[in-house]
């Protein structure tokens, strides 16, 4: 038997001529937290709806624990769902809301009550059992929606932007809550968001979608440090993108002559086939760059004049003008320290990196 809890095989969906989801393959392991991430219209909700049975595909299959459920009704699948709008029943108490799925499954009343209270403990809201949904805050209602979904212990929980309606602080708290509950229950979770930070924080793996297809599937670190495409590099946070030509290749390490300043720098391959003479883009995350006063020695480096310094809470960011028309500034980031070295605006600085801190994306 396969250890996949959920298998998507060649699943595709069109609306007329429009391809909302190109034939897609995806295996989700039991207990995995997998996030579908991508810009608006990239097909995340379409894929989730096909898994849930809320829409029917034009081709392909959905298997849950090896059983083909592609054309089965939603309630026949061992799946729970949590949406952005909490969809609680307004006239039922919180306890009745949570017990509802159990009632539908003909669980005896006393047992349903016991399990509803257990689920309320799990989301740390045991004292609100008798209240109505409108007597709770948005964050609390979302926890209840989660409790209502967990109460019948589905094998898979699908969440579509569940924290989208909450403010930033509450979102951060709820992210931790959902992670904790995931750890405690060990349920497989497929989570949809367009927020890359949320995806990075929560997921075992991220499935980054673009134009109705999977652009890259991997751990948050894979996508962040080893993007297969410029789209991935760009979608997952700030980066410096430097074009150049591959000079030589030594195993996994490429030597690249950069357009900027004619400097030759090292980078790791991103796994895609590459040859000497090929055009590539080097991606350097701001926090992987080292900064020093210009001419301080060391390996190959770019130089630039300091345009601006921004302290963004935990990170300090420096913006450097590489002195080339129309070129984007180089961004360097490091942890904000109480007694940071002082750099003057206009000062010339050097930026260097090691091969392991740069990745080459072939064009
Ligand atoms: P968002 O983050 O905005 O929710 P998404 O990645 O979830 O976006 P989907 O909702 O899956 O995107 O939509 C994918 C594409 O399919 C979009 O271009 C959308 O307009 C189109 N689409 C979705 N549902 C329908 C429909 N019922 N009829 C026609 N087109 C649709």
This complex has an ipTM of 0.95
Given 208, 231, 254, which residue is the final one in a domain?
231
Helix (H, G, I), strand (E, B) or coil at 148: helix
In 3D space, the residue among 26, 69, 32 whose CA is nearest the CA of residue 44 turns out to be 26
| Ligand 1 centroid – CA 82 distance (Å) | 18
Same domain (yes/no): 209, 275:
no
Instruction: Enumerate residues 6+ apart whose C-beta is below 8 A from 37.
Output: 44, 193, 194, 195, 196, 199, 206, 207, 208, 209, 235
- Ligand 1 residue neighbourhood (C-beta within 6 Å): 15, 18, 20, 38, 40-46, 194
Given 231, 250, 282, which residue is the final one in a domain?
231
For residue 49, give the ligand 1 atom closest to its CA: 11
What is the CATH classification number for the domain harbouring 264?
2.40.50.100
pLDDT at 39 over 90: yes
Q: Count CA atoms closer than 13 A to 25's CA, side-chain side.
A: 1
pLDDT at 347 over 70: yes
| Ligand 1 centroid – CA 216 distance (Å) | 20
For a pocket test of ligand 1, which of 11, 16, 39, 42 has the largest count of ligand atoms closer than 8 A to its C-beta? 42
Same domain (yes/no): 224, 256:
no
Mean pLDDT of the chain, nearest integer: 91
CA-nearest residue for atom 12, ligand 1, is 41
Q: What is the pTM of this model?
A: 0.88
Q: How confident is the model at residue 340, as a pLDDT? A: 65
Q: What is the mean pLDDT of residues 30-40?
A: 96
Same domain (yes/no): 221, 175:
yes
Same domain (yes/no): 224, 158:
yes
* Tally of domains in the chain: 2
Same domain (yes/no): 225, 81:
yes
CB neighbour class for 230 (10 Å; exposed up to 12, middle 13-18, buried from 19): middle
Helix (H, G, I), strand (E, B) or coil at 12: strand
Same domain (yes/no): 276, 219:
no
Same domain (yes/no): 307, 330:
yes
Query: Do 122 and 181 contact (CB within 8 A), yes or no?
Result: yes
Given 202, 231, 260, which residue is the final one in a domain?
231
Spell out where 219-252 has E strands: 240-250
What is the CATH classification number for the domain harbouring 115?
3.40.50.300
Same domain (yes/no): 108, 253:
no
Same domain (yes/no): 203, 268:
no
For residue 15, give the ligand 1 atom closest to its CA: 29
The boundaries of the domain holding residue 286 are: 238-362
Same domain (yes/no): 81, 187:
yes
pLDDT at 2 over 60: no
Same domain (yes/no): 173, 222:
yes
Same domain (yes/no): 23, 51:
yes
């Amino acid at each position: 038997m396969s250890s996949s809890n959920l298998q998507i095989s060649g699943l595709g969906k069109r609306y007329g001529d429009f391809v909302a989801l190109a034939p897609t393959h995806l295996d989700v392991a039991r207990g995995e937290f997998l996030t579908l991430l991508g810009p608006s219209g990239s097909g995340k909700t379409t894929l989730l709806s096909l898994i849930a049975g809320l829409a029917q595909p034009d081709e392909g299959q959905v298997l849950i624990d090896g059983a083909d459920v592609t054309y089965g009704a939603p309630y026949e699948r061992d799946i729970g769902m949590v949406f952005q709008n909490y969809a609680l029943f307004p006239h039922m108490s919180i306890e009745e809301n949570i017990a509802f799925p159990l009632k539908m499954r003909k669980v005896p009343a006393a047992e349903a009550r016991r399990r509803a209270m257990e689920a309320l403990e799990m989301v740390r809201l045991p004292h609100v059992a008798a209240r109505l949904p409108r007597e709770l805050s948005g964050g609390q209602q979302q926890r209840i929606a989660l409790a209502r979904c967990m109460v019948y212990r589905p094998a898979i929980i699908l969440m579509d932007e569940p924290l989208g309606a909450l403010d930033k602080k509450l979102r951060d708290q709820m992210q931790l809550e959902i992670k904790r509950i995931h750890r405690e229950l060990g349920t497989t979770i497929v989570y949809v968001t367009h927020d890359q930070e949320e995806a990075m924080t929560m997921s075992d793996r991220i499935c980054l979608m673009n134009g109705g297809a999977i652009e890259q599937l991997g751990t948050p670190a894979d996508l962040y440090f080893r993007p297969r495409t410029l789209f991935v590099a760009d979608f997952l946070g700030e980066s410096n993108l430097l074009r150049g030509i591959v000079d030589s290749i030594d195993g996994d390490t490429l030597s690249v002559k950069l357009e900027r300043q004619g400097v030759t720098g090292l980078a790791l391959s991103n796994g895609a086939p590459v040859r000497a003479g090929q055009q590539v883009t080097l991606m350097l995350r701001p926090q992987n760059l080292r900064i020093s006063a210009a001419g301080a020695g060391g390996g190959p480096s770019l130089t630039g004049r300091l345009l601006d310094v921004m302290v963004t809470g935990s990170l300090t960011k420096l913006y450097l003008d590489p002195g080339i028309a129309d070129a984007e500034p180089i961004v360097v980031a490091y942890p904000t320290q109480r007694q940071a070295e002082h750099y003057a605006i206009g000062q010339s600085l050097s930026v260097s990196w090691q091969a392991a801190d740069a990745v080459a994306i072939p064009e």
